[in-house]
Amino acid sequence: MPEAVKQFDTKDAFAESSTGTLSGQLVQPNGSNIERSAISALVGTLVNDLGAVVNSRSAQDMLNDHDATVSESGAFALELQPADTAAREAGPEFQPRYLTLKCTHSGGKVLVKSIQFYIRKVHGHP
């Protein structure tokens, strides 16, 4: 996994099979924003803690497609669907998910970062 650009704690977990918004800012290693006009491609893959692809989100175009948006300033948002937050039945109460983004920008520069977040299993737990 690439180094997590943003990590959420279990207290910020999405309830299993719920919707929600996962968001962050696309930034260069020097800390400056990557503006939408500089991005030629943004590809995302969502996996669970076992490395299995979740909800067929493997190498999806996330540049204003597949429930994802990028603002002019480079703010990224993914509208999570219930299938994105489905919990593994045999898994623990809090289950990590990893959204890896590959951003091609500014004449072919490539930035790969990961967002780690949690799903809270509701069914089967008191």
pLDDT 10s digits, 25-55:
999 888 899 999 999 999 999 999 999 999 9
- Residue 7: pLDDT band (50, 70, 90) is low
Q: What is the pTM of this model?
A: 0.89
Average pLDDT over residues 51-74: 97
pLDDT on residue 89: 87
User: Checking DSSP bridges between strand 109-120 and strand 14-15, what pairing results, if any?
Assistant: parallel
Backbone angles phi, psi at 40, to 5 degrees: -100, -25
Overall size of the chain counted in residues: 126
> Distance (Å, rounded) from C-alpha 100 to C-alpha 113?
6
Full strand arrangement of the beta sheet holding 75-80: 20-25, 75-80, 68-70
The DSSP 8-state label assigned to residue 62 in this structure reads -
The answer to whether the CB of 45 falls within 8 A of the CB of 58 is yes
Tell me the CATH number for domain 4-120.
Answer: 2.60.40.1930
Tokens found for residue 67: 């429930």
